[in-house]
């Protein structure tokens, strides 16, 4: 009886079950230990034989190999796309498609297979179901399909987006595109469309269509001039029957000719082009001037190299006279060949007569040239005229106030300046110039003629003490 009682007590004391206690920490600790033992036992089941066992899929290929992963991903993606909705609605588990325990799969291979299937499903359907914000807008896909109307194409070009115009193949579509570009009032878009039409249409068709579209025609002509497509431009102008513009465009070609002899021959050929009467006169003068410049340049270069002219030794030439304007040529001639007879090509008077230079332009240029050489006698002779009675007087077509400014700019002496300041008719201008350039005699004489005692007394303080000007002012005030 005592033995049976002892066994019964041992049974109750050795049981793994415990009675209820209020000690939560002991209960949680025991549960944690039980969970740890269960996990360790599962790891032993999975890993003990995993190294020694070769895992083979249903197709006979080792699980985990590259070919197996590819096939599993492909099959998983298709199966997941086809059966995901139905499986989710029926509440079936994703493990239903896995093989049974009797197969050659191990537990780790089952987990790997499920992982591949899940990743493949997420890869194929994630952009649609899980991240809709990553999708492109539908308008962006139209960029690649080129499904744009002419009006939409022009709007996109105005916004600076790249558009392919090659889809517009028919003539009608191209003309509609051009009309939409013109209606958009964007010069860059119009030029871009014209370049496309120029490349894809025959010249006759393009010329005929732009002739009735004046805005497009102006853009095309400007584009051809800027790019230097001279032959294309001439064909267009001939088609439009603009003969004078054709002639002027051909005349502009002389700017690209560097050789002076070739340029002279080219200008000679331009004389017969259908210019207007005024333009034809300019072309003739241009040819004549270049011909004169060639002759003058050859002679002066010979004189300069030979050292026979004192003027060339004292003032060497800084540049060639070839291709220079008419005014520059006249200044050059007045500087180096002022005293030559009218019969020579380099004579200033010959140039004036040949090219019909106005008196005002001639006097202004010759005065600047002779004043630069400080040839005051030539300046005086240039401004002295003789009337039909034989009387001489000073005359300046440009005005004596400009003569004074030019002389002062070339450091003319006060005696020369005073002579021409006196000839300024306007009293106020004469006083301002005389005061500015310190022509005291002119100021004193002007105040004397005006009988302005106050101004004359005030000006006395501006001259030096004991000078001739002060004595002159005192003499005028005393009398």
pLDDT digits (tens, 9 = 90+) for 309-332: 888 989 999 889 999 999 999 999
Q: Is 113 exposed, middle or buried (0-12, 13-18, 19+ CB in 10 A)?
A: buried
Q: Are residues 266 and 316 in the same domain?
A: yes
**Which residue, of 326, 357, 388, is where some domain finishes?**
357
Q: Are residues 257 and 317 in the same domain?
A: yes
**Which residue, of 323, 357, 391, is where some domain finishes?**
357
Task: Work out the mean pLDDT of the chain and round it to a whole number.
Answer: 77
How much helix, strand and coil, in percent to the nearest 5, is found in the chain?
A: 70, 0, 30
Please indicate, yes or no, if residue 58 is contained in any of the structural domains.
no
CA distances to 101, 146, 159, 163 from 190, rounded to whole Å, are: 75, 20, 14, 14
Q: Are residues 309 and 249 in the same domain?
A: yes
Q: Are residues 309 and 250 in the same domain?
A: yes
Q: Please report the pLDDT score of residue 5 as a whole number.
A: 63
Distance CA 460, CA 457 (A): 5
Q: Are residues 250 and 350 in the same domain?
A: yes
Q: Please report the pLDDT score of residue 368 as a whole number.
A: 95
Q: Are residues 256 and 344 in the same domain?
A: yes
User: pLDDT tens for residues 355-398?
Assistant: 999 999 999 999 999 999 999 999 999 999 887 777 888 899 99
**Which residue, of 241, 261, 295, is where some domain finishes?**
241
- Find the domain containing 180 and state its range: 147-241
Burial 185-209, CB ≥16 within 10 A → b, else e: ebeebbbbbbebbbeebeeeebbeb
Q: Are residues 389 and 460 in the same domain?
A: no
Lowest model confidence (mean pLDDT) among 30-34, 171-175, 233-237: 30-34
Q: Are residues 409 and 447 in the same domain?
A: no
Three-state secondary structure call for residue 62? strand
Please indicate, yes or no, if residue 85 is contained in any of the structural domains.
no
CB 172 within 8 A of CB 209: no
Please indicate, yes or no, if residue 337 is contained in any of the structural domains.
yes
Q: Please report the pLDDT score of residue 379 as a whole number.
A: 93
Q: Please report the pLDDT score of residue 477 as a whole number.
A: 85
Q: Please report the pLDDT score of residue 125 as a whole number.
A: 44
Q: Please report the pLDDT score of residue 278 as a whole number.
A: 85
Burial 228-260, CB ≥16 within 10 A → b, else e: eeeebbbbbbeeeeeeebbbbbbbeebeeeeee
| pLDDT band of 6, cuts 50, 70, 90 | low
Lowest model confidence (mean pLDDT) among 106-120, 226-240, 293-307, 308-322: 106-120
Q: Are residues 253 and 306 in the same domain?
A: yes
CB 459 within 8 A of CB 470: no
Please indicate, yes or no, if residue 134 is contained in any of the structural domains.
no
Of 205 and 9, the one with more pLDDT: 205
Three-state secondary structure call for residue 272? coil
| pLDDT band of 296, cuts 50, 70, 90 | very high
Q: Are residues 405 and 452 in the same domain?
A: no
Q: Please report the pLDDT score of residue 174 as a whole number.
A: 92
Please indicate, yes or no, if residue 88 is contained in any of the structural domains.
no
Please indicate, yes or no, if residue 209 is contained in any of the structural domains.
yes
Q: Is the pLDDT of residue 41 over 60?
A: no
Please indicate, yes or no, if residue 414 is contained in any of the structural domains.
yes
Q: Are residues 237 and 248 in the same domain?
A: no
Distance CA 146, CA 166 (A): 10
The domain tally of the chain equals 4
The maximal CA–CA distance of the chain, rounded, in angstroms, is 182
Please indicate, yes or no, if residue 402 is contained in any of the structural domains.
yes
Q: Are residues 450 and 411 in the same domain?
A: no
For the beta carbon of residue 418, count every other beta carbon within 10 angstroms: 20
pTM beyond cutoff 0.75: no
Q: Which two tokens stand for residue 307?
A: 């050292």
Of 49 and 449, the one with more pLDDT: 449
Q: Which two tokens stand for residue 271?
A: 């004389």
Q: Please report the pLDDT score of residue 10 as a whole number.
A: 67
Q: Which two tokens stand for residue 96?
A: 């239903």
**Mean local confidence (pLDDT), 129-146:** 47
Distance CA 67, CA 76 (A): 14
**Mean local confidence (pLDDT), 110-125:** 42
Q: Please report the pLDDT score of residue 460 as a whole number.
A: 85
Residue with token string 């002119």: 442
Distance CA 247, CA 46 (A): 98
């Amino acid at each position: 009886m005592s033995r049976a009682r002892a066994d019964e007590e041992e049974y109750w004391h050795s049981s793994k079950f415990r009675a209820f206690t209020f000690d939560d920490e002991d209960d949680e600790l025991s549960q944690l230990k039980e969970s740890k033992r269960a996990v360790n036992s599962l790891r032993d089941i999975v890993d003990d034989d995993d190294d020694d066992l070769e895992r083979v899929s249903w197709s006979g290929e080792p699980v985990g190999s590259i070919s197996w992963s590819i096939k599993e991903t492909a099959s998983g993606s298709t199966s997941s796309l086809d059966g995901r909705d139905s499986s989710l609605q029926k509440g079936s588990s994703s493990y239903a498609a896995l093989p049974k325990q009797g197969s050659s799969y191990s537990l780790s291979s089952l987990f790997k297979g499920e992982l591949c299937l899940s990743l493949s499903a997420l890869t194929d359907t994630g952009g649609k179901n899980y991240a809709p914000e990553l999708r492109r807008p539908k308008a962006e896909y139209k960029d690649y399909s080129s499904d744009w109307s002419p009006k939409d194409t022009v709007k996109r070009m105005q916004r600076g987006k790249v558009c392919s115009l090659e889809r517009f193949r028919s003539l009608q579509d191209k003309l509609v595109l051009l009309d939409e570009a013109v209606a958009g009032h964007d010069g860059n878009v119009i030029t871009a469309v014209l370049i496309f039409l120029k490349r894809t249409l025959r010249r006759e068709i393009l010329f005929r269509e732009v002739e009735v579209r004046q805005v497009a025609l102006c853009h095309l002509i400007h584009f051809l001039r800027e790019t230097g497509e001279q032959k294309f431009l001439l064909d267009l102008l001939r088609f439009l029957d603009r003969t004078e513009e054709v002639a002027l465009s051909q005349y502009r070609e002389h700017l690209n000719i560097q050789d002076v002899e070739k340029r002279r021959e080219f200008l000679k050929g331009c004389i017969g082009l259908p210019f207007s009467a005024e333009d034809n006169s300019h072309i003739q003068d241009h040819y004549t001037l270049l011909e004169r410049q060639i002759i003058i340049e050859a002679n002066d270069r010979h004189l300069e190299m030979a050292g026979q002219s004192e003027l060339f030794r004292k003032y060497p030439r800084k540049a060639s006279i070839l291709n220079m304007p008419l005014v520059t040529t006249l200044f050059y001639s007045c500087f180096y060949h002022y005293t030559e007879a009218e019969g020579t090509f380099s004579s200033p008077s010959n140039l004036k007569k040949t090219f019909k230079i106005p008196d005002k332009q001639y006097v202004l240029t010759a005065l600047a040239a002779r004043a630069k050489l400080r040839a005051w006698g030539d300046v005086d002779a240039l401004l002295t005229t003789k009337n039909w009675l034989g009387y001489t007087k000073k005359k300046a077509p440009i005005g004596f106030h400009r003569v004074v400014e030019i002389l002062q700019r070339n450091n003319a002496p006060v005696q020369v300046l005073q002579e021409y300041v006196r000839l300024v008719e306007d009293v106020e201008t004469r006083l301002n110039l005389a005061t500015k350039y310190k022509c005291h005699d002119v100021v004193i004489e002007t105040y004397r003629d005006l009988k302005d005692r106050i101004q004359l007394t005030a000006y006395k303080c501006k001259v030096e003490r004991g000078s001739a000007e002060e004595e002159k002012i005192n003499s005028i005030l005393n009398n």
